[in-house]
Structure 1
């Protein structure tokens, strides 16, 4: 007797899906338990709020009573986390069942409410693991997107309230490629960086942004006897277009921009289908002069993006300085525009 293998595969899928749903359900109940513990602690604290040390004493005493019976999950540090959890998410109905307790613990380190909302929406939308969420928080994804977008646009895209219409809404500058494991001080060729990206392709696509899939490496272009090779070709299903990436381990030049423009033109005329959008070109470079980029490209163009890469995670101070610098430039432009309007 021959058994259809599709039947076996279906049964295996049912078992796997059911197990995953059971694990998620148990974890969500655990998350709710920690929230209710935090709520009860906060309510008890209010009874002795006139005593400055009451809260500290209460948590220490509670830990002494619970830890011998229930284990290390009720240490002073853990109980403080439950209290903080309730204070940060005071309405139980706002808790997301798709997020695990481990992910909520990571979110407790994010003080800004809009930033926290962004990471919650992105985690649910992209089904991020704990490790992926941790990396995005520590690489300050939210702040990097804010460098080229307004807060409302970033949040709207994350919550699926808005479909990205421009590459800059999902492509970051700088890109952080610390997962490649390449040392900053080392001398390396562009092919070395490209090979490292291919080795860590899943992490690279995650860093690129939402909706990216890999198409080709060293895509050959033949033009009347001359041959050219595009470093990386991707496709973005949200923007519905090809995204071609050129890697430059030196400071960006206007010749690099011209080369990428030629590749973009080729894909638009030879590869793009009629119902697809215009090709996007990304110059991934070690450093760049934004003014050179600005005057090399036509005004208002949206197809070529120069993004600097970093081989290490930026510090919060570095990112805040960059955000503040961009805000100052924006304000100066606003003042200049207002001055011209008054004239």
Structure 2
């Protein structure tokens, strides 16, 4: 027989689920309404395409007629959003019920269809809130992944059309840790950065990406009488492997890489189960020389990744500079990777 508490808990869960479903249904109907309004405005514009500024006239006229009765949701600015919504997503059957109108507005700010497809897939897959989607767009998640991966691979992983084959397909460089609230002008010890990450673990997992779960902090390991401490240990269910993160608040050295390689070897030989994939090591560092990383590690290795962290959101100029550097490197190699 069910206890009173179990009965109450079950009924509360039913109520909460029903409310959530009702809210989503109402928001989707609102989204459809905005799409149809945008479609009707665009169709009217096309009828008067030979008249200069006819589109602006329609928006202004509709706003003056609709706002007094229906409120600020029908201001000229909002009506322009609805028109753009239809132009960006011209087929109503492709609209996703999992996305809210607020999330669609964020997607409208993106310049390419590939970006929108990526963020739609990630939002649905990870059940991102509006705030989480906004952060991922503002931190240039798509562009950061593209710095080391091709578009097709990024989109395929996001849509679950393929599983990631190695760490570089899901680990970002740089990682943006603005949510830690640390000032970039200050000097920090590794324990300070580590402590801030633990305090903001949920946000850090979001930045890490898909499939990560926290395992341990300052994991003690013993090697023939010597004792070592691994900064952070995670597990990634997509890659089916342990992920070790070592934090370095200085410029990365070859000694740092060697230290992490030892931890990775230990986990591969002692902790990893037979069905699991090789352990991944991430060096989260203040700065790095990619050539040092390349020549310290064996060729074609996929287990060690160096990722620079940023304590503030990148500017548009910084992002463009990074993309241009990648393009210059690609051209210098004769356009062959």
Q: Same fold (TM over 0.5)?
A: yes
Identify the range of structure 1 (326-335 vs 40-49) with the bigger mean alpha-carbon deviation.
326-335
In structure 2, distance between residues paired with 1:3 and 1:335: 68
Give the structure-1-normalised TM-score. 0.96
How far did residue 336 of structure 1 move? 7.4
Identify the range of structure 1 (315-324 vs 228-237) with the bigger mean alpha-carbon deviation.
315-324
In structure 2, distance between residues paired with 1:3 and 1:208: 41
In structure 2, distance between residues paired with 1:161 and 1:336: 26
Residue deviations 1:289-320 (CA, integer Å, cap 9, x gap): 00000000000000000000011111222212
1:112-151 correspondence to structure 2 within 5 Å: 112-151=112-151
1:198 and 2:198 correspond? yes
Q: Residue 235 of structure 1 corresponds to which residue in structure 2? A: 235
- 2:330–2:336 contact (8 Å) kept in structure 1: no
- 2:230–2:244 contact (8 Å) kept in structure 1: yes
Q: Residue 181 of structure 2 corresponds to which residue in structure 1? A: 181
1:26-175 correspondence to structure 2 within 5 Å: 26-175=26-175
In structure 1, distance between residues paired with 2:168 and 2:52: 49
How far did residue 321 of structure 1 move? 2.1
4+ residue runs of structure 1 moved beyond 6 angstroms? none
In structure 2, distance between residues paired with 1:6 and 1:287: 53
How far did residue 332 of structure 1 move? 2.4
In structure 2, distance between residues paired with 1:63 and 1:115: 31
How far did residue 242 of structure 1 move? 0.3
Change beyond 3 A, Cα 1:99–1:180: same
Identify the range of structure 1 (325-334 vs 20-29) with the bigger mean alpha-carbon deviation.
325-334
In structure 1, distance between residues paired with 2:165 and 2:135: 26
- 2:249–2:285 contact (8 Å) kept in structure 1: yes
1:251 and 2:251 correspond? yes
How far did residue 324 of structure 1 move? 2.3
Give the structure-2-normalised TM-score. 0.98
How far did residue 326 of structure 1 move? 1.0
How far did residue 205 of structure 1 move? 0.7
Q: Residue 7 of structure 1 corresponds to which residue in structure 2? A: 7
Q: Residue 340 of structure 1 corresponds to which residue in structure 2? A: none
Secondary structure, counterpart of 1:52 in structure 2: coil
Q: Residue 292 of structure 1 corresponds to which residue in structure 2? A: 292
In structure 2, distance between residues paired with 1:206 and 1:284: 16
1:212 and 2:242 correspond? no
Secondary structure, counterpart of 2:213 in structure 1: strand
- 2:280–2:304 contact (8 Å) kept in structure 1: yes
Residue deviations 1:12-49 (CA, integer Å, cap 9, x gap): 21111111011000000000000000000001111111
Secondary structure, counterpart of 2:65 in structure 1: helix
Structure 1 gaps of 5+ residues are 338-343
In structure 1, distance between residues paired with 2:52 and 2:224: 81
How far did residue 335 of structure 1 move? 5.1
How far did residue 10 of structure 1 move? 2.0
Structure 2 gaps of 5+ residues are none
- 2:194–2:231 contact (8 Å) kept in structure 1: yes
How far did residue 4 of structure 1 move? 5.0
Change beyond 3 A, Cα 1:108–1:307: same
Q: Residue 301 of structure 1 corresponds to which residue in structure 2? A: 301
